[in-house]
Structures are given as C-alpha cells and as structure tokens.
A and B are shown apart, each in its own frame.
Chain A
Amino acid sequence: MNSEHEVPAESDDPDVWELRLYVAGQTPKSIQALQNLQRLCEEHLRGRYRIEVIDLHKHPKLAKQDEIVAIPTLVRKLPDPIRRVIGDLSNVEKTLLGLQLVPANAP
C-alpha cells in the first residue's frame, strides 16, 4: 500500500473499520483532520479501526481513482457502504453522522 498505517488494528477482523484519509501535503487542515479522526476513533472504535492516510501530492493518480475533489476527505471503506466525510472533521457530530457511528454508539 502507498500509505502510512497510522494505527494498526487487529488483523482481518470483519468488524474492523477501514478508514482512509486523503490529504494534500501537511497543511494545517489535514493535520487537524488526522488529529480529530484519531481522537474520534479512540473514543468510539477503540481497537477495531484502521486509518490509512494518502497524500495526493505524492500519489496524484489516486485522486481520480477514488474520485476525490475536496481535501481533506475521509472515506469509510469498510463496513459497506462507502461513506464520505469532507473537511477537517472539527464538527464531531457531523463526522459521526457521516460515518454513521452515531447509531452504533447509541445506548
């Protein structure tokens, strides 16, 4: 894979969330987005998530392949269906809504 595995999770678990964050260089927005994402995952998905960060400046072809327009874009590859959240993820509620983490976390 052309990416840095930020936080590895237990391997091959069907319950594992596969998240991919597309950034373009180390901009304040992308740094913040990654921080926000990590905090969120730790909070809601501890131990069953995997984050892959893709720098489109390094791999520009992936932008077309994965249909990325806005930066940063967070893509939930697994579980199905694919969901997308854009922005620096500072709006936690919307991020959770976008990732459909809210119902899972609801008591």
Chain B
Amino acid sequence: MTASTASPRASIPKAPTGIHGLDDITGGGLPRGRPTLVCGSAGCGKTLMAMEFLVRGATDYDEPGVFFAFEETADDLTANVRSLGFDLEDLAARDKLVVEHIRVERSEIEEAGEFDLEGLFIRLGLAIDTVGAKRVVLDTLETLFGGFDNEAILRSELRRLFRWLKDRGVTAVITAERGDGTLTRQGLEEYVSDCVIQLDHRMHDQVSTRRLRIVKYRGTTHGTNEYPFLIDSDGFSVLPLSSLKLDHVASTERVSTGIERLDSMLAGGVYRGTSVLLSGTAGTGKSSIAAHMAAASCERGERCLYYSFEESPQQVLRNMRSINLDLGPWLANGMLHFVSTRPTFHGLEMHLATMFKHIREFDPRLVVIDPISNFITVGTAGEAQSMLLRLVDYLKSRQCTAVFVSLVSGGKGLLEATEQNVSSLIDTWILLRDVELGGERNRGLHVLKSRGTAHSNQVREFVLTSHGVELRDVYVGPEGVLTGSMRLAQEAREREAAEARRHAMARKRREIERKRHALEAQIASLRAQAESEELELELLLSAEEAVDRRLTDDRSSMALSRRADADNEEEETA
C-alpha cells in the first residue's frame, strides 16, 4: 500500500490523490480510509477532480476505485473524461475501476411508508468487492434529496452511509453542490467532518478563474489559502504557489546577455536563475535585447522559452533578422520555443498554470516574457503582481533565468516605476529610455539595479544596427548628455578643438626650443669670454713669475759681481 505522509511525525495516514499540486497542499493527500467532501457550485470541476482521484489511484497507486454517479450515466461520464485522457473502459476491463450509475427518478417513485437505502449499500458493497476497491466516489450524493421525500430517513441513512464507508476502510470522495450561504445545499458537511475541500469558479471581467480551498482537514496541517487550479487536457492541476519559500539556490554563475558591452556593464552578465526586467517606453528596443539574450542562451546550448504576447513567432523572427539576429536555426532545432497567445485569451491563473506546465515540460534555462505589461489588462494590478511573484519564485526554484519585458507608458515620473510594481521581485533591472534632443530620438540604456553586482552606473547609448545591438558611450560634458547625431557633432567639435590644441602646443614647443637655442648660444659666448679672460690672467701671472725670477737672478748675479760674498772668496784665496 502506498503510504504517504507529509512529515515524519505526520498525524494521520493519507491517500495520495496524484492530482498535481493537491498533494502538496494537503501534505500528502486525502485522509486515508475516511470520507472527504468536495463541494462547489455547478461546473466547477467536482466530478473531474473526483474522477482523477480514482483514475490516478487505479493507475499510479494500485488502488482500484468505485465511482457511483448519481447524475450522469456511466456512458456519459466515460465520454466526458475521455478528453482528459482517462480511458475508463480500459480501466474497467482491467478490473481497476467500476463506474455505476445510480438512477433515482422522483416521478417514478411513490413513497408509501418507511424505507431505508440498503439497496445502495448492497450495490456499493458489491462494487467494492468486485475490484477490491480502496477508493470510492459518490457524485453527487445530494441528488438523493431530490429523489426521496422523507428527509429524516435520508439523513439518518446518510449518516449510516458515512459510518459504513469508514468501517469499510475506503478513502471516499463525496461531491456536493454549494448551498446558499452554506458549504453544501443539504448540509452534508455535518456528516463528513474529516476533510472538506471547496472548489470555486469565479468570473472577473468576463474571464474565469478556478480556485480551490481546503476548508478543513482534521488532524493535519494544510495550506489554508485559495489556490488556483486548472482543468486542461492533462486533467486537474492545483498550483500550490503561495506555499513557496524563499530558499532557492543562489548561483554565482554568470549568464551572458549576448551583448558584449552589456555584459561588461553588468560585470560579466546576469547571475543564473535571477530575474531580469527590461523596461522602457515603446520602441526602445526591449524585445531586441530580450531576443539577444534568447539567442545567447541557445548558443550556450540551453533551451529558451519565449512568450510573445504581442507578436507571432514569425513576426519576431523577421524583426530580429533586421538587426542581423537570426533565431530561425534555434527554432528549427528545438532550442527555442515560442508561445504566442493573447493574454486576454485566458484568465491570469489559467495563464500561470499553463506557463507552469510549459516550463515543466520544456524545462528551459531561460524564459522570456514579452511583455508582462499585458497581464494587467487581464486582472487587477494586485492579481498581476501576485501572479508574477509566483512566476518569479517558480522560475527561481528551477534555477531558470527569467527575462521580463515591460512596456512603460511615457511620462518622466513613471519611467522608473513599473506598473506591476515588480521591482522588488527583480534582481537586475535594465532601463531603456528615449533621449530626445535636437529633433531626434535616441535610445539610452542604463542598469537601474543589479543585485550582488558591481554594475556600471553609466548611461549608454543603445544603437540598433544592421549587425546587432551596440552600446556606445554617450557624450557627457559641460553641455549635458548628448546622443545620436548631436553626439557625433559634439565629438567632431571635440576632435577639432583637440587638433587646434595640438597645433598650439607644437608651436609653443618650437618657440621654446628656439629660445633655448638662443640662450645656449649666449651661454657659450659668455663662457668663451670667461675662458679668454682666464687665459689672459694666466698669461699675466706667468709673465709676472718670469719677471720675478729674472729679478732674483739679476740680483744674485749683481751681488756676485759686487763681491758681496768676498769673505768666502778671501778665505779661498788665503
């Protein structure tokens, strides 16, 4: 037996429904061996939910089931659920399922005295025994109230029925119509006290939204919110979105945007699994950047899911070809998948649910939603925001990078405020805007925020050329921010001025050179003069010495001749 419990210390045994999402909310399924009441207004999907519970039980959990239909015949029911991919005939043939129609026709029955519903019990017992059923659906039990007059008997019999079901140990689902101000028209909630699930089908601006709520679930914790659910070709799915926690893995891997300059502005790209918002007024090139990111993702060999809510895939392809970005090959080899629908085609919840399904099935690494602004036309602002919140959370939990394109209506104050107020959900916000100057509009791009990144604070001019997107520095100078041809003119002017300055410098240099030459010549002549004077001095000095020597010589020779030293000579002669 498939025992399924939400937590290790789970309170009561549960029977998994196999319905996508429902088991998450209920923490493992419906109370095993006990009846569960599913109530809601007409056409809200009670029968389908009950049927899926049985079919999944029979196919996925090896728990055969019995479906007692009080409203539809078995043939009708089989035909109805065939569109959801349930083959009841096959299941019946394999002894996995019994579908039995209980026909109670008021006009054919006359009540004469006391009775009980033992016939129903016998039939139910027989059906359960034939296939060894573990699950039972009674759809819609309240029809009995229309078939019999004696309500007192009916009520006591129903009470007996629920007790009997518990005694048999089958997990039962009982469906009931919603009453006026009560959960069920006949107050069945009074008998089924273990688990009550309410389905709802609401219209908002002509768009329908289905919701599910667990009114009570005795002995277990459960999600208490209203959860949107979806019925499509794969059956029933509930979106247990609000139960998501903020515990996604934070990757440090950078993902290139496909635009080199933008990557460098973001210090190497955006983190994997984060959300990027591209917002701007009409025609600022949001989609072009998104398409670049998509192409870059495909190039890395990572699948990309592209939601195009305004253009058909062919239109996107053609438009991107004009900037030399060919998405065709990626589309052909299945790396790129387009989903193009009008947002107004579904309600928001339906949108979200289908998106979840696409994402689950295609398992992309990058999701582009172009634009998110259209969702607001479907729901209210609050709804749109909560939807985006859930989408962002979902994508983050899958480590899938998200690119949201948001069209902002003009006006200065509005530029940095997205209509959906999603900025808090966004990790990297790239703002594109028009710069209108000198009679032309140009595109400016800057990174408004990028969590965990030392991003550039510069406004870049963003140019769509025939060979892709290019980012250029804008002219920021004393004359303000200039873009486009004004930037070019300004740059030309600057070049001229620089040229002139260069010329002036050269001239100045030559002049100084000349002056230096002159000075050097002067220094040389002065030095020559000094040298010649020195030479003269030396000559004079040596002449003086010569004179001195001659004088000395003369004197000594004179003395000799005067016999100044006669003694010596006398002594010699003596």
B116 touches A83 (CB 8 A): no
B110 near A24 (CB under 8 angstroms)? Answer: no
Assess whether B570 is interfacial by the CB under 8 Å rule.
no
**Which of A1-9, A12-20, A42-50, A91-99 is the interface stretch?**
A91-99
Q: Is the CB of A86 within 8 A of B126?
A: no
Neighbour of A64 across the interface among B100, B111, B114, B117, CB < 8 A: B100
Do A70 and B119 touch across chains, with their CB atoms under 8 A apart? yes
For A40, give the chain B residue with the smallest CB separation.
B112
CA distance A78 to B339 in the complex (A): 64
Does any Cβ of B come within 8 Å of A104's Cβ? no
Interface residues in B102-123 (C-beta closer than 8 Å to A): 102-104, 108-120, 122-123
Q: Contact: A69 with B104, CB < 8 Å?
A: yes
B126 touches A64 (CB 8 A): yes
Q: Decide if B338 is an interface residue (CB 8 Å cutoff).
A: no
- Inter-chain contact A90/B112, CB cutoff 8 Å: yes
A67 within 8 A of B: yes
Residue among B109, B117, B144 with the most chain A CB within 10 A?
Answer: B109
Interface residues on A, range: 20 to 34
- Whether A84 contacts B119 by the Cβ 8 Å rule is no
Does A89 interact with chain B (Cβ within 8 Å)?
yes
Partner of B120, one of A22, A69, A72, A91: A69
Q: Which of B111, B119, B122 has the most CB of A within 10 A?
A: B119
Q: Say whether B61 faces chain A, with CB atoms less than 8 Å apart.
A: no
Beta-carbon contact of B110 and A95 below 8 Å = yes
In the assembled complex, how far is the CB of residue B521 from the closest CB belonging to chain A, in whole angstroms? 132
Tell me if B125 counts as interface (CB < 8 A to partner A).
yes
Using CB atoms, name the residue of chain A closest to B147: A69
Question: Contacts of B100 on A, CB cut-off 8 Å?
Answer: 64
Quick check: B125 and A86 within 8 Å, CB to CB? no
A62 (CB) vs chain B CBs: closest residue? B122
Decide: A88 and B113 in contact? CB cutoff 8 A. yes
Interface centre among A32, A67, A88, by most chain B C-beta atoms within 10 angstroms, is A67
Q: A24-B122, A61-B126 are in contact. Are A88 and B114 (CB under 8 A)?
A: yes
Count B interface residues, CB 8 Å: 24
**B145 at the A/B interface (Cβ < 8 Å)?**
no
Chain A residues, CB < 8 A from B113: 32-33, 36, 87-91, 94-95
Residues in B whose Cβ lies below 8 Å from that of A53 = none
Q: Which of A55-107 contact B (CB under 8 A)?
A: 56-57, 60-61, 63-64, 67-73, 82-92, 94-95, 97-98
CB distance from B359 to the nearest CB of A (A): 46
- Closest CB-CB distance, B454 to chain A, in whole Å? 75
Contact of A94 (CB < 8 Å), options: B111, B114, B126 = B111
Closest to A24 in B: B118
Which residues of chain B have C-beta atoms less than 8 A from A36's C-beta? 113
Question: Whole-angstrom distance between the alpha carbons of A22 and B119 in the complex?
Answer: 9
Query: Would you give the 0/1 interface string for B320-349, flagging 1 where the beta carbon is closer than 8 Å to chain A?
Result: 000000000000000000000000000000
Would B115 and A86 count as touching, CB distance under 8 A? yes
Q: Which residues of B contact A86 (CB under 8 A)?
A: 109-112, 115, 148
Q: Could you tell me if A29 and B115 are in contact, using CB atoms closer than 8 angstroms?
A: yes
Q: Contact at A95–B112, with CB atoms within 8 Å?
A: yes
Asked whether B126 lies within 8 Å of A63 as measured between CB atoms, the reply is yes
A94 to B110, CA, bound (A): 7
Question: A98 to B109, alpha carbons, bound, how many Å?
Answer: 7
Given A64-B100, A94-B110, check contact A72 B115 (CB 8 Å).
Answer: yes
- Complex contacts, B122 vs chain A, CB 8 Å: 24, 56-57, 60, 63, 68
How many angstroms between the C-alpha atoms of A61 and B118 in the bound complex? 13
Question: Which residue of A60, A69, A87 contacts B112 across the interface (Cβ within 8 Å)?
Answer: A87
A26 to chain B, nearest CB (A): 12
Q: Are A84 and B117 in contact (CB under 8 A)?
A: no
* Contact A97–B110 (Cβ < 8 Å): yes
Contact A83 B118 (CB under 8 A): no
What CA separation (Å) do A84 and B104 show in the bound complex?
11
Cα-based distance from A69 to B69 in the complex (angstroms): 13
Contact, CB under 8 Å: B103 / A29: no
Distance between Cα atoms of A83 and B116 in the complex (Å): 19
Let me know if B114 and A73 touch, CB within 8 A: no
Q: Which residues of A contact B103 (CB under 8 A)?
A: 67
B125 touches A60 (CB 8 A): yes
Nearest 6 A/B pairs, CB to CB: A98-B110, A87-B113, A90-B113, A68-B119, A71-B118, A88-B113
Q: Would you give 13 A-B contacts (Cβ < 8 Å), ordered by A?
A: A60-B123, A68-B122, A82-B108, A85-B111, A86-B148, A87-B113, A88-B112, A88-B113, A88-B114, A89-B112, A91-B113, A94-B112, A98-B110
Instruction: Kindly list 4 other residue pairs between chains A and B, CB separation below 8 angstroms, not including A70-B148, A91-B112.
Output: A29-B114, A69-B117, A84-B109, A86-B112
